[in-house]
Structure 1
């Protein structure tokens, strides 16, 4: 990649010439020289500079965006060529939505490490919308999301089913009923995830499909907080079977079936919509597609 673009990206990200020079192991005059040459090439100033800050102007924002894409393509080109000559190794940046990332991905990574110990994964957790955004912006090699996702710039492939169950505390009045009908669920206080979450999307679909009208909705940004709140008797919820398996075994939460439930959704992997993938990405996707490769996955589906 052109050295001037690399210097420019570093200055823009560090917002400081001195720090950029330190990171690049260059002198500050050399950094300034590269920036000056790039600005002459582009025919305009790219940075606003004062004694207090360095920041991108409008032209700089355009150059920065495309320079980042070029850097990503340059790195990817080298990775693909290297993959032809060596076994799968190196960094793999994975993003996952909360349910998959917190309750299933650790088992997948253990299997990845067993088969390919030279791959070093980095994990970023976010809701489904955020994972899609990170993949589209080249911040992730691959993402795993839950629920429905449509994005014109991404390739999205379902690979596993998830069942969403009504979850209540063992001390809840509904826990004592031999049979629960949908009518029992209206008027209850429901605890749900934040908007943008795949779990929240499913929760709202269930409300609509079953004509459930909660008496009150509490919105929490963490599945763990929701589970603790339900266990404490604050309300009821709809969660993935995988998110509550330990609590079900311990008897602190109860998984309930009624008409229309459990509700099925899909886990999908998400990548850039491109022909070539790095070998580390391909082997990770192979493990996702081959659920028999990690027994924990099959056990959770029972």
Structure 2
């Protein structure tokens, strides 16, 4: 049994279509069929039932599939280790980041990283703080970047300078440009906010607590799943929001939005990794790039 045969088997088992599996692997249909036939002949059992023009996994095929996937995962981990030893000439980083970071803060860092390490590929997935932490914990992300607080002993954390939240309204709103809004005055406003679980929402509600305001006292007119949706709704006059200055900077310059004079503190972003997983060189290289390029990062736990 060869690794190539296992790859073909898994691809065919997942698609239940030899031609599509062969195309995905860059093989001819005959080569993929021959690989499956050789595997079945080697062990004297059928892994697939051929029913007309369709195929289905046999019981043996269904039992073998998770083992085959585990073998491929082990081979991938071995390849990652060898890529590290080659001195960052090969490799891949799976990153997971919350929306503000993924959309506005992280891309320039990734561009600099790719310029320095052009043979390291990078993929980025977007989720809220809870989703990012789960991805790192479960090993589907090498590094996570979040705005909110993370309380998980298995996750190592690095705090880096982030951004500032601003209170913003549409340019035609009565509060546009107001300098002396008190915390008590904001309770009766119609609010447009990110969803619960987002870092922006978490930081905003914590800041309200510092002002002595219960977040449950606010009138939330809209709860939206993205920064862009919040910004567009507020530009249209739907209400007031608190959002990252990075998100609304261009709209403020263009005069479509205006700030309101209720200050919010600077916030940090948090880079997280799994504390028990292998520290790939590509991870360390990206972290070093960010650490070297930012003023005075505070390490909450050694990364």
**What TM-score comes out, normalization by structure 2 length?**
0.76
Asked whether the 8 Å contact 1:12–1:56 carries over to 2, the reply is no
Query: Residue deviations 1:232-286, cap 9 Å, x none?
Result: 221111111222222233333233343xx41454322233333532222221111
Change (3 A) 1:138 1:178: closer
Partner of 1:227: 231
The partner residue of 1:31 within 31, 36, 41 is: 36
The secondary structure found in structure 1 opposite 2:279 is coil
Change (3 A) 1:176 1:250: closer
Partner of 1:162: 163
Change (3 A) 1:264 1:67: farther
Query: Residue deviations 1:52-93, cap 9 Å, x none?
Result: 674798x958963x6545534432332333333334444333
Alignment of 1:55-94 (within 5 A): 60=62, 64=66, 68=69, 70-94=71-95
Partner of 2:298: none
Change (3 A) 1:88 1:284: farther
Change (3 A) 1:144 1:176: closer
Change (3 A) 1:205 1:152: same
Distance 2:225 2:4 in 1: 42
Partner of 1:14: 15
Partner of 2:219: 215
The secondary structure found in structure 2 opposite 1:243 is helix
Partner of 2:300: none
Alignment of 1:106-185 (within 5 A): 106-151=107-152, 154-185=155-186
The secondary structure found in structure 1 opposite 2:176 is helix
Asked whether the 8 Å contact 2:171–2:257 carries over to 1, the reply is yes
Partner of 2:259: 255
Asked whether the 8 Å contact 1:21–1:31 carries over to 2, the reply is no
The partner residue of 2:287 within 271, 285, 288 is: 285
Change (3 A) 1:122 1:177: closer
The secondary structure found in structure 1 opposite 2:161 is strand
Asked whether the 8 Å contact 2:89–2:120 carries over to 1, the reply is yes
- Provide the aligned C-alpha RMSD in A: 3.6
Deviation at 1:152, TM superposition (A): 5.7
Distance 2:51 2:268 in 1: 51
The secondary structure found in structure 1 opposite 2:239 is coil
Partner of 1:267: 269
Deviation at 1:94, TM superposition (A): 2.4
Q: Give unmatched runs, 5+ long, in structure 2.
A: 296-303
Deviation at 1:144, TM superposition (A): 1.4
Q: Once structures 1 and 2 are overlaid, which stretch shifts more, 280-289 or 150-159?
A: 150-159
The secondary structure found in structure 1 opposite 2:93 is strand
Distance 2:55 2:206 in 1: 48
Asked whether the 8 Å contact 2:8–2:32 carries over to 1, the reply is no
The secondary structure found in structure 2 opposite 1:217 is strand
Partner of 1:299: none
Distance 1:292 1:152 in 2: 25
The secondary structure found in structure 1 opposite 2:188 is coil
**What TM-score comes out, normalization by structure 1 length?**
0.76
Query: Residue deviations 1:80-118, cap 9 Å, x none?
Result: 333333344443332221100111122112221332233
Q: Give unmatched runs, 5+ long, in structure 1.
A: 294-302
Change (3 A) 1:15 1:195: farther
